[in-house]
Each structure stands twice: as C-alpha cells, then as structure tokens.
Amino acid sequence: MAIEGRKERHGGRIRLGMVGGGNDAFIGGVHRIASRLDDKYVLIAGALSSTPEKAQESGEALGLAPDRTYDDFKKMAIREARLKDGIEAVSIVTPNHVHYAAAREFLKRGIHVICDKPLTSTLADAKKLVKLADKSDALFILTHNYTGYPMIRQARDMIMADDIGKIRVVQVEYPQDWLTVHQDFKQAEWRTDPARSGAGGSTGDIGTHAFNLASFVTNLELESLSADLQSFVEGRQVDDNAHVMLRFQGGARGMLWSSQVAPGNENALRLRIYGEKGGLEWSQEDPNYLWHTPFEEPKRLITRQGAGAGASAERMSRIPPGHPEGYLEGFANIYGEAAAAILAARNGDPCPEEVLYPTVEDGLKGVQFIDACVRSSARDAAWVKFA
C-alpha cells in the first residue's frame, strides 16, 4: 500500500512496529528508549520473536495488544498495511541475517524502515535491498547511532568549512574486550556465527561503525584497502580483531582498528583526523568534547554547547552544558532525524534540509567494507579495490 493512501489516516505520533527485540534482547530495548526520548513515536505492534509463546510474552510485557503481537514479520507487514491505524514505520532489530527479508516485506508495502546495522549479512542481499529501497515510496534509515552525537556533527561541519584544510590522515579505532574468551550467551553466540552475523565478526559488528563514522565526518570516499583479520579465540569462525589500511580518493590515507579481544577496552571508539591546517580528535567514551588543534597553535576544547560549537551540535543537544549526553541520546537523535523525514513524508512536504541520517546506500558501503576486508585478508592483506 503506497504512503499516499496511508498518510491521511494518521495524526500525532508516528505509529511504530518492531521486528525482533523480545524480552532478552539488548538492542531492542535501546531502540525503544531512543524512539520514546523525544515523544515522536508510539509502539503499537511487534513481531518480537519467531517463537509464538515468547512473542506473546514480550508483547504483553511491552503493553501491546494481543492482536497486534505477531510471531511472523511477513504476517505483521501484510496485516498492518491493511489496518486503518496500521504502523507507519518499523524498527528491525534482529540478527543480521534477518534484516533483508524483514525490510523487504515492509518496504514493498510502503512502510518506512528503521534498521539496525550492518545493513545485511551478505553483499548480495545488500545490493538487492538497495534496489528495493530505491523502488519503494518508503524511507530507509540505518541506525549508525554515533553519527547522531553532537560533537560528531560539529566535526563534520568544521571539515566542510575547511577548518583543518585538505585531509591527509584519518585514524579510527574501535576496541572492546568482551569477546576476549569464548562466550556462550545469546548476544555473543549469534555475533560469532557466520550464518547469522555474516562473514565479518568484529569488522561487521563494530568495524562498520568505525568505517561509517570516518566516512560521515570526512565525507571522503574509500578507494582501496588492505586488511589483516584475525580470529584469536580458538574455534571462532569470524574475525575478532582487524587491522585495515585505507586509501581514500583524493590522496588521504587512513588506518582502522577494530577488536573485541582488547582487554581494558569497553567501548573505546575514537576518531582522529589530520589536515593541512590542523587536526580534530574525538572519543566516544568522552563524547561531549571535541579537540581542535590548528597547526602551531594550542589545542582548543570545543564542548557540546560551549564556545565554538555550531548550529548542528546545538540541534543535536537536549540538556544544558555540563550534563553528559551519550549513547542513548545519540541513538535518539537518529530516531529524531527519521521522525522529521517521516512526518514530512506524511504531510507531503520536502524533508527539512538540515535532517541527516544514514541511508541504505551507507549500509551498502558498510557491507562492501566487510566484504573487501575478508577478501583482502584471504589474500594475505592484498590491496583490493573498494567498489
């Protein structure tokens, strides 16, 4: 059902559904919090589990009506598209291998999709999903949540304004330690299973975040890469550590490190960018601060709502200076950008110019990054073209 036929029947908050995210799922709760933070969505339906009993229990725990709780996402898509008060958008928060099939069912019925990363578990599915999204009237938003941090928007604006000059060097790293030894609980179990996670382990789970963040802030296009992937934990079928050399169009060079076997690192995403006129540094574990160092001048600290912060950082901030904003707020900012685009589509208006969120094309680049890393590493870290 096309959006044109549905938008007149909706007012107020965006009616949201969810696929995945049942009682014991971490990321489902994060998406629900993010969707509620600015009160732009209301969750009214879900296929929270493929197990009927668990689906009903999860729906009941979230206050969903029994007849809006499904154990099959296709049934959910078909019925919700026909209902007068059916969902306008759906959050897909399943393991990676379900993303394509679930997104397909909602996109072809004109229901907006908000999908967790990476886009899909295979490059073939990613390419098919891009074609589906291009043909659909519905929007596709990928939740690379770190692009929603105020200081990341600030860094992007400063680079666009040529504050550090032509970029020469990009350093991005994302080390964690939670998979240093074998783990058999749910979140670890599916992430280390190539049938569900895809060919990449740390590259897919957190390396795509690092790659997306570097690309988003710098606006550089990757030309080629050389990747050395390791599976340090015995018996692990996907990588748990990756060192990747990057060559960007225009001459910039970069290095990316992703690891889930680095003891002492919890969620240490860090980005450093150096240009002809200066450098920028940002750390996710201290996210309200951005360091700017003009060449041969003292380092300057830019805070979320302090001196030096621009309009984009201000728009992404909710609370007064000195009060930390972080992971959940960054996630909520992506949901806020999605809401602005969805509400504009509902009303037949153009999307506001300042609205910015990761798209299905960004998702394709992420899966291409995983694929290129795996191919390069299999050839003893040979340089491979990024296409």
pLDDT of residue 11: 64
Is 172 found in the same domain as 124? no
Domain harbouring 63, CATH code: 3.40.50.720
Is 266 found in the same domain as 174? yes
First to last CA, the chain: 34
Is 162 found in the same domain as 269? yes
Tell me how many helices (H) and strands (E) the chain has. Answer: 13, 14
Is 348 found in the same domain as 301? no
In order, the DSSP letters of 251-310 are S-EEEEEEES--TT-SS--EEEEEESSEEEEEETTSTTEEEEEETTS--EEEETTSTT--
Domain count, the chain: 2
Strand ranges (E), 146-288: 167-175, 222-230, 241-248, 253-259, 270-275, 278-283
The one-digit pLDDT tens for each residue of the chain (387 residues) are 334 444 444 469 999 999 999 988 899 999 999 999 999 999 999 999 989 999 999 999 999 999 999 999 999 999 999 999 999 999 999 999 999 999 999 999 999 999 999 999 999 999 999 999 999 999 999 999 999 999 999 999 999 999 999 999 999 999 999 999 999 888 899 999 999 999 999 999 999 999 999 999 999 999 999 999 999 999 999 999 999 999 999 999 999 999 999 999 999 999 999 999 999 999 999 999 999 999 999 999 999 988 889 999 999 999 998 898 999 999 999 999 999 999 999 999 999 999 999 999 999 999 999 999 999 999 999 999 997
pTM of structure: 0.95
Domain harbouring 190, CATH code: 3.30.360.10
Is 308 found in the same domain as 168? yes
Q: With respect to residue 329, please indicate whether it lies within any of the assigned structural domains.
A: no
Q: With respect to residue 181, please indicate whether it lies within any of the assigned structural domains.
A: yes
Q: With respect to residue 60, please indicate whether it lies within any of the assigned structural domains.
A: yes
Q: With respect to residue 239, please indicate whether it lies within any of the assigned structural domains.
A: yes
Range(s) of the domain holding residue 243: 150-319+365-385
Is 19 found in the same domain as 138? yes
Is 292 found in the same domain as 157? yes
Is 274 found in the same domain as 134? no
CB distance 43 to 29 below 8 Å: no
Is 40 found in the same domain as 72? yes
Distances (CA, A) of 384 to 159, 241, 381: 27, 19, 9
307 CB burial (10 A radius; 0-12, 13-18, 19+)? exposed
pLDDT of residue 25: 87
